[in-house]
């Protein structure tokens, strides 16, 4: 008995010292001006994009997942008792204190980025021009091979409506819920890039209409020479704004491409270099050391400092977020950039922001440290006032962006690891050295002011709210 | 006396370094390209061909490896010499030491306007990529010799050190 106690004590000591298996796990949440409201473990599936949809009198979170891990390629869904490849989690977050897991829709078999169903967008049938007004449509990727549209009017019992397959990759698409126009990040088989844009009219989700393929000249079929960097994702400002902001690159060679939406939709569809150049208004090329994961437009922002200036008191701003991809700082810092695109032909980078590494010794914590993505909701509760940045092992960071020339942090939240949190490894002297760390991958907000963060390392969904002075920035009581 | 010994030891060490770093007929040269997103690689020269090699950590599709010719176009360093490179023929699968991938021949326009053939090789290990560019005499015999050099300890020891975080 004494020997057993000694053994247990020894193991506990080893774990405390970080000597057993994965090391340095962060056991307590860290927070400033943000508070945990509720959480769900998402069946310990690696999470990518959350979309929060106000559906009747309910609030539903649709969350995309990466593929499984080497150890658990297909986690068991406790609701069915079956092993299911990671796909889409549907969670009722009407009561954010007690989120209720409704349904898991399996995705493509495969591990990490090689499977799952990472991306999700949701539109009401009543807002789409030619759809069933009683339906609610969820657009999602199916791993790398397809886009799918499901009717989720009953979110616990989704029904597959449409599938657009035959692709070699997919990623973070955009769907305009008023026009039905979708900019689908796809890998068309004959293009020279894994990710380009397929523009579809999904106004009637049951009958998709292809409009055209689009990308950077050099990516099209039959081109020669250097291949411009892959697309990561677009964000459209719709008919009114008439612009689509495309972000290319992940952690290298980023490009912000500003495109005239109408010319894109109505220009000649054949993928010739001239036709691909026709709708482009301007590009902002970033350094080879930074990519453009998210390109989030905030147009006509009033800048207090410029209020008395005869011109330029309102600025068109695009927030660019890079994606860190390597563990333990094995790459240049990936962070947040603000571009002033008021003079569209001369977009200019005006500021940047990163988490100070020394504030948490983040390069030593394990996993990725750096930016990945921002919230993409344009609901007035936070739009053009605050931005929330998923920063991997530094959790989510809340920025006051009312003066985008001088963004400043007003809060943060780093969840505690759980038993489900997966390890992250680097190779040192030929051997894996693993640590367990939070990997906040994506963030979204809802019109009630809740902030939803999801974890790439299987820790699940955390629902947060602002506290203290951070609430004042957004004008929240 | 001590000074002479030190000089001899230093010279011997230099010879050993040179011997371990360069196989016969291959001379290590400086990396000739301007800085880009990736750390500098290593370059070697023989009488008739130059070889440029560099690992690109985390740049490969972890599940499919180097899947097709378009991927070789996209990930190799052939654009460092000529951004408008033109493929001469479909690529082929290739194995260099324990790394597998694809190889493709291109025609490049050199800064002086002359045309030159070059072979780009893209190899993968898990999520990491190793690219090599062979520029110069593009005969099968010369390229075969360059492939043997790539597979030699002079190159592979360094490549594996980088891939294994040493």
Rama region for A263: left / alpha / beta (φ>0; ψ in -120 to 50; rest): alpha
Q: How confident is the model at residue B25 (pLDDT cuts 50, 70, 90)?
A: confident
ipTM above 0.85, yes or no: no
pLDDT in tens, B85-139: 999 999 999 999 999 999 999 999 998 999 999 999 999 998 899 999 999 998 9
Facing residue for A326 by CB, picked from B37, B58, B70: B58
Are the Cβ atoms of B165 and A114 closer than 8 angstroms? no
Q: Which of A426, A243, A249 is nearest to A337 (CA)?
A: A249
Q: Are A218 and A277 in contact (CB under 8 A)?
A: no
Are the Cβ atoms of A114 and B36 closer than 8 angstroms? no
Map out the domains of chain B with their CATH numbers.
25-163 (3.40.1000.10)
pLDDT in tens, A26-45: 789 999 999 999 999 999 99
- Judging contacts by C-beta atoms under 8 Å, the chain B residues touching residue A112 are 62-63
| DSSP H helices in chain B | 2-21, 69-75, 140-150, 153-163
Are the Cβ atoms of B58 and A325 closer than 8 angstroms? yes
Rounded CA-CA distance A153/A147 in Å is 19
3-state secondary structure (DSSP) of residue B160? helix
Rounded to 5°, the CA angle B29-B53-A325 comes to 130
Are the Cβ atoms of A331 and B165 closer than 8 angstroms? no
- The CA distances from residue B79 to B33, B86, B87, B107, in Å, are 11, 10, 12, 11
pLDDT in tens, B130-165: 999 999 998 999 999 999 999 999 999 999 999 988
Paired with A212 in beta bridges are A199
3-state secondary structure (DSSP) of residue A307? coil
- pLDDT value at residue A290: 96
For A342, residues 6+ apart whose C-beta sits below 8 A from its C-beta are A312, A314, A315, A316
Minimum CA–CA partner of A220 in chain B? B70
3-state secondary structure (DSSP) of residue B91? coil
pLDDT less than 70: residues of chain A: 1-24
- pLDDT value at residue A285: 96
- CA dihedral sign, ordered A123, A125, A131, A132: positive
Q: B125 to chain A, minimum CA–CA distance in Å?
A: 13
The alpha carbon of residue A194 and the mean position of all alpha carbons in its chain are separated, in whole angstroms, by 18
Facing residue for A330 by CB, picked from B36, B57, B62: B57
* Average confidence score pLDDT of chain B: 87
- pLDDT value at residue A23: 54
Q: How confident is the model at residue B46 (pLDDT cuts 50, 70, 90)?
A: very high
Paired with A26 in beta bridges are none
* Interface subset of B 144-163, CB within 8 angstroms of A: 163
């Amino acid at each position: 008995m004494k020997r057993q106690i000694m053994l247990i004590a020894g193991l506990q000591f080893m774990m405390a010292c970080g000597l057993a298996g994965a090391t340095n796990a962060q056991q307590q949440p860290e927070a400033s001006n943000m508070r945990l409201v509720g959480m769900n473990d998402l069946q310990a599936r690696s999470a990518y994009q959350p979309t929060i949809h106000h559906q009747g009198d309910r609030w539903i979170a649709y969350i995309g997942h990466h593929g499984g891990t080497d150890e658990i390629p297909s986690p068991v869904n406790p609701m069915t008792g079956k092993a299911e490849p990671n796909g889409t989690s549907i969670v009722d977050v009407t009561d954010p204190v007690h989120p209720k897991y409704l349904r898991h829709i399996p995705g493509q078999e495969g591990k990490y980025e090689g499977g799952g169903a990472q991306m999700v967008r949701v539109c009401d049938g009543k807002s789409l021009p030619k759809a069933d007004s009683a339906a609610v449509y969820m657009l999602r990727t199916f791993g790398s091979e397809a886009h799918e549209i499901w009717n989720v009017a009953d979110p616990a019992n989704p029904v597959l409506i449409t599938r657009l397959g035959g692709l070699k990759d997919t990623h973070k698409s955009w769907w305009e819920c008023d026009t039905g126009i979708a900019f689908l990040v796809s890998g068309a088989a004959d293009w020279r890039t894994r990710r380009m844009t397929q523009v579809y009219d999904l106004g009637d989700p049951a009958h998709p209409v292809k409009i055209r393929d689009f990308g950077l000249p050099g990516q099209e079929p039959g081109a020669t020479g250097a291949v411009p960097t892959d697309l990561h994702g677009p964000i459209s400002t719709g008919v009114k704004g008439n612009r689509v902001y495309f972000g290319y690159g992940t952690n290298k060679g980023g490009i912000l491409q500003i495109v005239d939406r109408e010319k894109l939709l109505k220009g000649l569809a054949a993928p010739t270099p001239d036709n691909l150049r026709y709708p482009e208004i301007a590009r902002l090329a970033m350094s080879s050391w930074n990519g453009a994961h998210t390109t989030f437009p905030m147009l006509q922002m009033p800048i207090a400092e410029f209020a008395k200036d005869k011109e330029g008191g309102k600025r068109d701003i695009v927030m660019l977020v890079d994606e860190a991809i390597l563990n333990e700082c094995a790459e240049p810092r990936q962070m947040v950039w603000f571009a002033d695109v008021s003079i569209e032909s001369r977009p200019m980078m005006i500021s940047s922001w990163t988490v100070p590494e020394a504030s948490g010794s983040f390069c030593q914590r394990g996993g990725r440290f750096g930016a990945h993505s921002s919230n993409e909701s344009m609901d007035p509760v936070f739009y053009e006032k605050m931005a929330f940045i998923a920063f991997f092992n530094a959790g989510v960071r809340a920025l006051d962006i009312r003066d985008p020339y001088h963004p400043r942090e007003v809060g943060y939240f780093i969840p505690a690891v759980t038993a489900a949190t997966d390890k992250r490894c680097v190779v040192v002297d030929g051997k894996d050295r693993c640590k367990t760390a939070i990997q906040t991958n994506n963030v979204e907000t809802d019109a009630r002011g809740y902030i939803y963060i999801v974890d790439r390392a299987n820790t699940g969904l955390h629902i947060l709210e602002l506290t203290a002075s951070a609430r004042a920035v957004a004008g929240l009581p | 006396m001590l000074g002479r010994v030190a000089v001899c030891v230093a010279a011997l060490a230099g010879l050993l370094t040179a011997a371990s770093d360069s196989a016969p007929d291959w001379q290590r040269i400086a990396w000739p390209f301007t800085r880009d997103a990736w750390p500098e690689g290593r370059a070697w020269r023989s009488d008739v061909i130059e070889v440029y090699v560099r690992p690109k950590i985390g740049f490969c599709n972890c599940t499919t490896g180097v899947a097709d010719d378009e991927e070789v176009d996209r990930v190799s360093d052939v654009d460092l010499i000529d951004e408008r490179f033109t493929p001469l023929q479909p690529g082929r699968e290739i194995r260099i030491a324990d790394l597998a991938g694809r190889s493709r021949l291109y025609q490049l326009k050199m800064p002086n306007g002359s045309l030159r053939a070059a072979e780009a090789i893209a190899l993968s290990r898990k999520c990491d990529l190793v690219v090599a560019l062979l520029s110069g005499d593009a005969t099968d015999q010369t390229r075969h010799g360059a492939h043997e050099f790539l597979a030699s300890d002079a190159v592979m020891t360094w490549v594996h050190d980088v891939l294994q975080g040493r």
